[in-house]
Structure 1
Amino acid sequence: MSIANIYRLGLKELKSLWADKVLLVLICWAFSGAIYEAATASSQELHNAPVAVVDEDRSPLSMRIVDAFYPPYFREPQPITLAELDRGMDLGTYSFTLVIPANFQHDVLAGRQPEIQLNIDATIMSQAFIGASYIKQITLGEVNEYLTGTRATSASPIRLVSRVRYNPNLTGVWFGGVMEVINNITMLTIILVGAAFIREREHGTIEHLLVMPLTPFEIMMAKIWANGLAVLVGVCFALTVMVQWVLKVPIAGSLPLFLFAAVIYLFAAASIGIFLGTLARSMPQLGLLIILTILPLMLLSGGVTPRESMPQIVQNIMLAAPTTYFVRLAQGILYRGAGLDVVWQDLLAMTAVGAVFFNIALLRFRKAVTRTQA
């Protein structure tokens, strides 16, 4: 009887969701356009960086350095004068400006080690350090090749060979697309379940449910499975169509294993949504609580910044959040091809944290039921 009640209540939730066109549009956008936008618009690679050059030497060597900057990393270098440099940087016209002094080639051939000034617009933090490294490598490479015929800087007693695993070309789209899917799972699950709970209260239907032979456990489980199913369908579409087909991101591990972990995480995130729904008294209050909850879950779970770079107290606090374990196991499965033997500890921890949140939400819901019946 309890399973039948949960099933029928879940169908009611799906019908309510189908009638709410705004939420339907939000779900469709979150697992389609938002994935593509986040993956392509927030790329961390250097791309079409505007460069200007003050070439006071105009020698074959200086012209060789200028010609070494080309797309897709840099735009075609713009020749400017020293008087135009500060204004161009102040207006944000150029991200990098290179000043090659007079007699540069003559001093290089004489072994005097002349200086080249590189001015960097540090307001573009995502590209400032990468661009400076690229420009240094390009400049030194061109000078060495001009002098010795090879781009090697100097003889070294060792040879460092780098092998990049899991993302050989260091393509930011691979990381951004998958992590946006994970972030949207968190956001939509909490929003949908919390909004469903508040909608029942605002429409007065929660009282109708309470006078029926239903328990708070059945009501909560119905909202969890129905809204979780809607999010899970979106996740399958996002990974197979947007991530693999549109963005061309390979999935290294088992997709069924990831979806199994996603089901457990949906249970945990939905429990957080119901808990917030028991705290809020209206949809605006729920919106404010969701903002205060979702942002830390996204930013501090390891999906944006490695947890190791965070303060120790933040790392310890985030162990109480299921998102921490889900992000870690999702990266392990989707990026590194990890199996159940690797991620089982995160699965157990995520299940335990989800159970704690579910029981807290259930306790608060029962207290609300008691007050209503009284």
Structure 2
Amino acid sequence: MRQWLINIYRLGLKELRSLRADPVLLLLIVYVFSFAVYAVATGARLEVVNASVAYVDLDRSDLTGRIVGAILPPEFDTPQEIAASDVGRVMNDGDYVFVLSFPPRFEADVLAGRQPEMQLNVDATAMVQAGNGAVFLQEIITAEITKFVARDDSATTLPIDLVVTAQFNPNLQSTWFSSVMQVINNVTILSVLLTGAALIREREHGTIEHLLVMPVSPSEIMLAKIWANGLAIIVAAVLSLWLVVQGILGVPIAGSISLFVVGTVLYLVSVTGLGILLATFTTSMPQFGLLALPVLVVMNLLSGSTTPMESIPTWLQNIMQIAPSTHFVSFSQAILYRGAGLETVWPDMLVMVGLSAAFFVAALLRFRQTMASSG
């Protein structure tokens, strides 16, 4: 056992030296845990921010002025008045996401209870802003009309006072979600790519033959690749959470980083084993990339990191329970977003242990078969 552990340690050091000598892989690790996290978090916004609004005011009343004045940043840009004849042109040119049109005698008809019609044109090519922004504008218009008719700025038609409390993300900022999820997704992607690339590199450089004549077993070779590449990924992920997510983006981490690292270690055994398993079916990096790409896409899209699991059909949810990424995402979200402790996340950790053992055994059997055929 002692010699077995020594072999795993020394082979792992060899993997780390090989990784250090590969500037492309080093640059990839730095990029995906730094700029890629920042770019995704700040570039793909899910909430309505600075949506452009124009309006046509054929009434020129106090009510229309109140409605326009209530459309404020940061959700909307300052509304711009346009002529009625320009509505079609500005919508076709994509100058504005929303165009409000107030008809003549709008205020008088409202006060008389005649329920006048006003038009809201929406550029639905900007789907997120179109859907959420239209709801916000309807709420603003309804609130202003209600207060105007009641002649009381505090008036409301609701018989109750509904208080909404947003837990874990009080300002509903998509950056808080997307930055952490990007780190989690990158752990999965790099775990598969680095371990698979390590095995392909052995073949391309001819060092796999050296390993075959050494007194080492396939399990020692596999575990060495897993701990060496896993260590690099964990260090990069933790630094990304501290420096990029918390430091630059200002996103708070609610739970224990140490518990997250423990769960990540359990998860890495399965996903790095998957990388080695995929690499045994290929002979070059292009082949490995083509085989790994659809697997990674499915794991990321259907793991709950992009869309909630509840949005996925039930039969597909059941299938995805055999994917370790599903339980890792659930585990990570509970800790990093909601500050959950071991008493909450232990079921996911237990499942990850079982899946890690299954993936490791499958990869080891296939790896032994590959080495035997190479020998």
Q: How high is the TM-score relative to the length of structure 1?
A: 0.96
1:217 aligns with 2:219: yes
1:150 aligns with 2:153: yes
1:114 aligns with 2:116: yes
Aligned to 1:297: 299
CA contact (8 A) 2:100 2:120 kept: yes
CA contact (8 A) 1:144 1:151 kept: no
**Structure 1 residues 159, 63: closer, same or farther in 2, change over 3 A?**
closer
- Report the Cα distance in structure 2 between the residues aligned to 1:163 and 1:65, rounded to whole angstroms: 26
- Report the Cα distance in structure 1 between the residues aligned to 2:348 and 2:158, rounded to whole angstroms: 46
Residue 200 of structure 1 deviates from its aligned partner by: 0.8
Aligned to 1:273: 275
CA contact (8 A) 1:254 1:334 kept: yes
Aligned to 1:257: 259
Moved more, 6-15 or 34-43: 34-43
1:242 aligns with 2:260: no
Aligned to 2:34: 32
2:8 corresponds, among 3, 6, 9, to 6
Residue 223 of structure 1 deviates from its aligned partner by: 0.5
Paired letter, 1:237: L
Aligned to 1:201: 203
Instruction: For residues 297-344 of structure 1, give each alpha carbon's deviation from its aligned partner in whole angstroms, at most 9, with x where no partner exists.
Output: 111001111111101121111111100000001111111111111111
- Report the Cα distance in structure 2 between the residues aligned to 1:330 and 1:163, rounded to whole angstroms: 23
Paired letter, 1:344: W
- Report the Cα distance in structure 2 between the residues aligned to 1:191 and 1:17, rounded to whole angstroms: 12
1:170 aligns with 2:177: no
- Report the Cα distance in structure 2 between the residues aligned to 1:243 and 1:369, rounded to whole angstroms: 42
Paired letter, 1:154: T
- Report the Cα distance in structure 2 between the residues aligned to 1:348 and 1:155, rounded to whole angstroms: 48
1:1-374 counterparts in 2 under 5 A? 1-148=3-150, 149-150=152-153, 152-156=155-159, 158-373=160-375
- Report the Cα distance in structure 2 between the residues aligned to 1:197 and 1:75, rounded to whole angstroms: 53
- Report the Cα distance in structure 2 between the residues aligned to 1:151 and 1:57, rounded to whole angstroms: 25
Moved more, 29-38 or 146-155: 146-155
Paired letter, 1:223: K
Secondary structure at the residue paired with 2:120? strand
Residue 35 of structure 1 deviates from its aligned partner by: 1.5
- Report the Cα distance in structure 1 between the residues aligned to 2:155 and 2:182, rounded to whole angstroms: 40
CA contact (8 A) 2:124 2:130 kept: yes
CA contact (8 A) 1:276 1:286 kept: yes
Paired letter, 2:85: A
Moved more, 118-127 or 141-150: 141-150
Residue 70 of structure 1 deviates from its aligned partner by: 2.5
Paired letter, 2:136: Y
CA contact (8 A) 1:142 1:151 kept: no
Q: How high is the TM-score relative to the length of structure 2?
A: 0.96
Residue 34 of structure 1 deviates from its aligned partner by: 1.4
Paired letter, 1:183: N
CA RMSD of aligned residues (A): 1.3
Secondary structure at the residue paired with 1:86? helix
Secondary structure at the residue paired with 2:95? coil
Paired letter, 1:296: V
Secondary structure at the residue paired with 1:279? coil
Paired letter, 2:153: T
Secondary structure at the residue paired with 2:280? helix
Secondary structure at the residue paired with 2:99? strand
Greater than 6 Å deviation, 4+ residue runs:
none
Paired letter, 2:261: L
Residue 152 of structure 1 deviates from its aligned partner by: 4.2
Instruction: For residues 20-71 of structure 1, give each alpha carbon's deviation from its aligned partner in whole angstroms, at most 9, with x where no partner exists.
Output: 1111111111111111111111121111111111111122221222222222
Q: Please, which runs of 5 or more residues in structure 1 have no aligned partner?
A: none
Secondary structure at the residue paired with 2:76? coil
Paired letter, 1:144: T
Moved more, 215-224 or 166-175: 166-175
Residue 249 of structure 1 deviates from its aligned partner by: 1.6
Paired letter, 2:178: G
Paired letter, 2:107: Q
Q: Please, which runs of 5 or more residues in structure 2 have no aligned partner?
A: none
Residue 352 of structure 1 deviates from its aligned partner by: 0.8
Across the two proteins, how many residue pairs are aligned to each other? 372
Secondary structure at the residue paired with 1:280? coil
Paired letter, 2:59: D
Identical pairs, percent? 53
